A and B are shown apart, each in its own frame.
Chain A
Amino acid sequence: MSTLDDKAEETVEQVETTKCPEKEQKNRACGIILIFFVIGLVGSLAVGWLIFPKLLYSQKKQPIDFNHVVHVAAVEDGCESCHYFREDGSFSGVPKLAQCVGCHEEAQGENPEELKFVEEHVTKGNEVPWLVYSRQPDCVFFSHASHIKMGKLDCVVCHGHIGESKHSRVYEENRLTGYSRDIWGKNLAGLKKDTWDRMKMDDCAECHAELKAKGETVTTLPWPINWMPRPYEKPASSQVRVNIQKDACFVCHK
């Protein structure tokens, strides 16, 4: 970018500053430079931490404000009362209208959200376009059966304490990818405290590696896909890869 002239000027300037070591001037110059540095730093931090998330995510409201607490109290089988396994082994996920109608043929109470639900959806027969916080990309295959039925995992491990929510959270949609913010996690830095804070591939891998370290037969990712450092497992080598019995793309991808 710089032309010869620019370069010449630069040298001159440098010469000037070194030749006139007036402290005050220098300090002031340093100060200004520092201020600019700080402005840049703070500004970009603000952009990165405060504005960027606002730009990245759009806020969406669930069509109906759903109260899990009330529902969990009203059913007998906990989560599986509504989020159940079908006979063919598939997982039903978010209930369809037909399921809700079982109880909500008519409004059960005075709650305006319920009235709205009955009016807009039950009577008209329109499915509720729920926004699914945990929706994964199409290339992901996830078996609820193997985790819940065979692995005996609790729903909370991945989904958190959603069953204790009285209101539906705002659904934050990533404008770029179209997926929920829950996949990457609330924390933009990607830090997590609890197992349910994030739902990325590394989070699957982390748990699986832990189990593998304990000697369980689970799928782990072959090196070098799983390049993230894991303190509790020695770095995988090609030797390890061959010995691992449960690995391969199609286990988690379709």
Chain B
Amino acid sequence: MSDHKPKKTIGNRPPRAFGWMAEYSNEHKLLEAARKVRDSGYTDTDAFTPFPVHGIDEALGIKPTKLPFIVLCCGLTGLSLALLMQWWMNGVDYMYIISGKPMGITPASIPVAFEMTILFSAFSTFLGMIALNQLPKFSNPVFTNPRFDRATDDKFFLYVSAKDKYYNRDSVRELLGGTQHDSLDEVIEDSTPDALPRPIWLTALLVVLAGLIPAMIILNMRNGFSTAPRFHVFFDMDFQPKKKAQQTTTIFADGRTMRPQVEGTVARGQLDEQDSFYLGYDPNKLSALENTDGVRLVATQADPKPQDTAKDGGTKVIPAANTPAAPAAALNLPWLTTLPIEANDENMKLGETKFQTYCSACHGYSGYGDGLVHKRAEALGQGFWIPPTSMHIDRVASQPVGQIFHTITKGQGKMPGYAASMNAKERWAVVLYVKALQRSRNASDKDIPEDKKPSIEDLTQPKTEAKK
């Protein structure tokens, strides 16, 4: 039991005093003293005990905490978030169909909603307690008293703060001195320096810096470019024991991974119901013809070349003619007159692509026979060059679609057949495109649908006006 005299100094001033603290040997003495202090009118008081002493809140006049209210609010937030999350994620943004269960909020949403409610409530309870208690607080003037170590063991402390509006150093000492205390000390300012010791700073700095490294690496990788192969932490399925299309193999004699179609087979989905789809004419009608035109046409087919075993399937081998066939217009053949594919945007786009890939080099983008090859040949002045046929001359423009298909398939004159490069559907798409090209050359404004006219008129306006 001693009046604690501050021995150390802070800078060149004596440490400040924060109040008085008395020590008691049990909770009953503490409660008695606390009541006494409260009855004397002091309110800025506190008790420090190794366990919660019941009745101390009344004895000191501590108000109940508002923690339950905070927890209730956070719990309800968790509940609403969980319901909203499930409703939006599975009911709106990404709808799974799971055994025909309804989307959105169902009995199946309850477990997650419950867990989220508890999660939010529990964390708000803990964090709320920490925050309301203003913890962590590592420096506290009460720690300056070496006897205070036993506040977490078996001793009970009562503290009257100097901030209390009725505080008077001597009268408080007298008041606490009148209780059954074991010791009575003045709480003084902590004289140890405020700054953290240098090694702790350094360690903390190092830890923070080290912690930044992975983040920097990730940031660099996310934003930079690299030609080096990907670094695989986990292989996922990036390396699989399998061969891709153009790779070699030792398994097969020809060393190719890609295998040719087995002879006499048709791949699934490759066989159209109509033979005419692959030929451009009706073979039944052809064989019924009595004149020699049919025989001549068939004769050109009787000599298949190996490179032309087309993608269209083995049974439908359509060889390209390497001998010029008779002028097709002269033949009275059962050509298809309607397209076997639909004339829609998709096929038109396909036809355009294929046309520009395979045909435009000679025939030109508009089909006038003025392709790059032709221009080059003319520029070189090659006399033996036979110009490609324009598609807009009457002879070609009047051909039925089947005949154009046949020409693309088998070739004509110097033009090779394209059966090896394009499958039947693609060739039909080219036919569609060619027909569209032909028609576009002889179109009148009647052909333009009414609703499209304004937009076309826009195009014809001078640009300066359009800008307005």
A, B co-complexed? no
The chain B residues found within 8 Å of chain A, CB to CB, are none
The chain A residues found within 8 Å of chain B, CB to CB, are none
